[in-house]
Amino acid sequence: MSVSPIVSVRDLTVTFKGPPDVHAVNGVSFDLAPGEVLGILGESGSGKSVTLKTLLRLLPEKRTTIGGTISVAGQDVVALQGRALADYRGRVASMVFQDPALALDPVFTVGQQISEAVIRHEGVSKAEARKRALEMLERVRIPSPARRLDAYPHEMSGGMRQRAMIALALACRPKLLLADEPTTALDATVQIQILLLLRELQRDFGMSVIFVTHDIGAAVEVSDRLAVMYAGKFVETGGVRDILRDPRHPYTRGLLAANLHGAEKGTRLEAIPGAPPALHEAPTSCSFAPRCRHAEERCHHALPPVVPLGEARNVRCILAEAARQDA
Amino acid sequence: MRSPEPILSIQGLKKHFKLPTKGFFGREKPVVRAVDGITFDVIPGETLGIVGESGCGKSTTARLIIDLIHRDAGAILFEGKAMGEALSPKEYRRHVQMVFQDSFASLNPRMIVRDIIAFGPMVHGMPQKEAEELAYSLLTKVGLDPARFAGRYPHELSGGQRQRVNIARALAFRPKVLILDEAVSALDKSVEAQVLNLLTDLKAEFNLTYLFISHDLNVVRYISDRVMVMYLGECVEIGPVDEVYAHPRHPYTRALLSAMPSMDPDKRTMEPPLAGDPPNPINPPPGCRFHTRCRFAEDVCGTVSPVPTVRGSMHFAACHIGTPGSGHSRAGETT
């Protein structure tokens, strides 16, 4: 990659103080190029939302220990404090949350909320900010936007609220959009509308997006690259086509099979047995080994190697290592 | 085509919820038409999937069928006997049981797993010892080791384990019909597959009939024999699952199916099949309820409610297109 990345994360660890302690993220490293869309795929408790929230420093300061480095657009995110952090949020990076009904402020109109962000970051007049808010509502294709500017969040439907949320997140043209399960709470016919909208805005604004979801289908619709997360680690990363056509990590394979897309009726599903680990201690061996059919003795004793397989493709598994040596 | 006698026959089921707020100027209180006249049969041994978006009335339908909420109109017949008349609700519920979406909220937090499962049969007169034996054997059937799990409280279990307990509890009466209301939706994908395998095994072992309610179209296709599509309290299409997925006849079914992500980065969806959100069920549109979002809508759709018409074996759809003489310019066309 010749262009310098907009996001660069190295050995990120996030621990929540207990009791008991929870090691939510255990050594995540990745780069994101400008204009690139990374989908982080994982089940609940895999650390995908925690990773995202760390990028915006939204986690409770007192209970959270962050290790490693995060650089976004040249800024050291872990070190940001006070006004510098407030400048960063919304301007450089901003977030779209899963439930817009909870994320939007119920006592202010949508117009007020968008204007507030624009005034804070760009210091423009109220009238100017309102104009920008209207422009944004048009961009996200909310019907009769002029009227919706003065609507409260509860007066809108779920899909419309999520559009308003996206308008708010993008009002100051951030370089990085963090989307945390933005379509999970929506109905199927509305979900696809929001996914297509995100894709279109990403292209038009040329921003980078990190899209966190448990829904493989949604991730495939918008992502260039995928990272599959398990027990606080990226177990497999690569281009969306490569991962879909040739998943290498046993967990990725299990996840793809469990999606049931094209599952043969009447056949047994290839279910992954067991459940994800509790993560009260930092893993010292492969976290997936207890559920893995291919696990060997050494999987239970040491961390698996990160095996690079071609451009931007990494698999954290001994199987990939064996396959590479055969080749 | 009704050769096999239905095990469950739902006829004209209706439920309108009155809202607590007053209507304007003392007019009638607003009413949510959650389920508005639904008729269908469930054939013994089949899995009938029910799909639809939130607010379409699929969960209300489930609760009406199990009689957790009382219907305003309509009849529920179990093996030909009307529930509430020839069949008492208590007797009826021994044959029809339900598993809920929220595995935690549906288990009593102050009872251990064994007692949760044994409680129902004991209420129906089974001696305690026997009921506990039954609980142990059911736990084994759902893949939980009784020695490890029987003495635990619900909060000591994972989501997948709790849902297994819920299934064991529902099976304690040896029911013939099991209603699964989004029973796997709250589970992680890898755990969901385990529970689906379990449901398939139990169905064969206990000769069960499933009513499988879900918003996940992939899961419904995998598990169901027939599928019913609901929109705003009405059934818009019902038929064999492969036929409905391959040749959907109602424009809403078509939109719903094409809203499914393609799982192929080279065949991404380019245009959303529908604009906007589903309308509010408080004041559903007159005529065909889908006409406000339907691209084939004509004048007749806004005034006259379409009647379900049959095409092929047991495949019904309620759309003016495909109904000869409906007044739609494409009436009677094969859709």
B194 and A CB contact within 8 Å = yes
**If one looks up domain A7-92+174-262 in CATH, what number appears?**
3.40.50.300
Which chain B positions have a beta carbon within 8 Å of A242's beta carbon?
none
Minimum distance, in Å, between the CA of residue A122 and any CA atom of chain B: 32
Q: Do A196 and B217 touch (CB under 8 A)?
A: no
Contact between residue B295 and residue B274 where contact means Cβ atoms under 8 Å apart: no
pLDDT of residue A13: 95
pLDDT of residue A1: 47
The verdict on A198 touching B (C-beta cutoff 8 Å) is no
> How far is A133 from chain B, CA to nearest CA, in Å?
21
Token couple for A215: 């829904």
Confidence at residue A258, expressed as pLDDT on a 0 to 100 scale: 82
Query: Which residues pair with residue A67 across a beta bridge?
Result: A13
- Residue appearing with tokens 């294709």: A141
Query: Which sign does the torsion angle of CA A71, A72, A73, A76 carry?
Result: negative
* Nearest-neighbour CA in chain A from B161: distance (Å): 10
B276 in contact with chain A, both atoms CB, cutoff 8 A: yes
- Answer yes or no: do A271 and B218 touch at CB < 8 A: no
**pLDDT tens digit string along A233-291?**
999 999 999 999 999 999 999 888 887 777 777 788 888 888 888 888 889 999 999 99
Mark yes or no for CB contact A188/B158 under 8 Å.
no
Please report the pLDDT score of residue B262 as a whole number. 82
In one-letter notation, the amino acid at residue B322 is G
pLDDT of B45 above 70: yes
* A214/B272 touch (CB, cutoff 8 Å), yes or no: no
Report, as ranges of residue numbers, the positions in chain A whose pLDDT lies below 50.
Answer: 1
For residue A43, give the nearest of B190, B262, B268 by CB distance: B190
Task: Tell me what pLDDT residue B23 has.
Answer: 54
B264: which chain A residues are within 8 Å (Cβ-Cβ)? 220, 244
pLDDT level of residue B27 (50, 70, 90 thresholds):
low
Interchain contact A271–B (C-beta under 8 A): yes
Alpha carbon of residue A309 to chain centroid: 23
Is A160 in Cβ contact with B277 (below 8 Å)?
yes
The torsion defined by the Cα of B200, B206, B210 and B215, in degrees rounded to 10, comes to: -30
Assign B150 a pLDDT band (cuts: 50, 70, 90): very high
Asked if the Cβ–Cβ distance from A275 to B191 is below 8 Å, we say yes
Residue B265 near residue A220, CB atoms below 8 Å: yes
Q: What angle do CA A310, A315, A320 make, to 5 degrees?
A: 85
Q: Which amino acid is at A167?
A: A
Percent of chain B at pLDDT exceeding 70: 96
- Chain B residue nearest residue A161, CA to CA: B277
- Looking at beta carbons, which residues of chain A come within 8 Å of B160? 275
ipTM of the shown complex: 0.82
Q: Judge residue A212's burial from the number of C-beta atoms within 10 Å of its C-beta, 0-12 exposed, 13-18 middle, 19 or more buried.
A: buried
pLDDT at B283: 81
At what angle are helices A110-122 and A82-91 packed, to 10 degrees? 120
Contacts of A192 in chain B (CB under 8 A): 259, 261, 269, 272-273
Amino acid B26: pLDDT: 59
Residues in A closer than 8 angstroms to B245, CB to CB, are: none
Average pLDDT over residues B261-273: 85
Checking DSSP bridges between strand B73-78 and strand B8-18, what pairing results, if any? Answer: antiparallel
Nearest to A274 by CA among B168, B188, B216, B105: B188
Q: How many CA atoms lie within 13 A of A281 on its CB side?
A: 4
Residue B275: its chain A contacts at CB < 8 A? 193
Q: Is residue A198 within 8 Å of residue A190, measured between CB atoms?
A: no
Cα A316 to Cα A126: distance, rounded to the nearest angstrom: 51
State residue B28's pLDDT score. 65
Average pLDDT, chain B: 89
Q: Please tell me whether residue A214 adopts helix, strand or coil conformation.
A: coil
Rounded CA gap, A103 and A109, in Å?
13
Tokens of B251: 């424009």
**Is A261 in the B-facing interface, judged by CB distances under 8 Å?**
yes
Q: Which tokens in the block code for residue B54?
A: 């939130």
Q: Which of A43, A188, A240 sits opposite B189 (nearest CB)?
A: A43
DSSP state of B331: B
Domain boundaries, chain A: 7-92+174-262
The answer to whether B272 contacts A273, with C-beta atoms less than 8 Å apart, is no
Q: Out of A272-276, B120-124, B330-334, which region has the weakest mean confidence (pLDDT)? A: B330-334
Coil, helix or strand at residue A231: coil
Q: What is the CA angle A292-A293-A299, rounded to 5?
A: 55
Over residues A128-163, the pLDDT tens digits come to: 999 999 999 999 999 889 999 999 999 888 889 999
Domains defined along chain B, listed by start: 8-110+153-317 (3.40.50.300)
Note whether B260 contacts A270, CB cutoff 8 Å.
no
How deeply is A326 buried, as exposed, middle or buried, from its count of CB atoms within 10 A (0-12, 13-18, 19+)?
Answer: exposed
8 Å CB contact of A188 and B217: yes
For residue B13, give Cα distances in angstroms to B5, B76, B217.
19, 8, 24
Report pTM: 0.87
Cβ A189–B278 below 8 Å, yes or no? Answer: yes
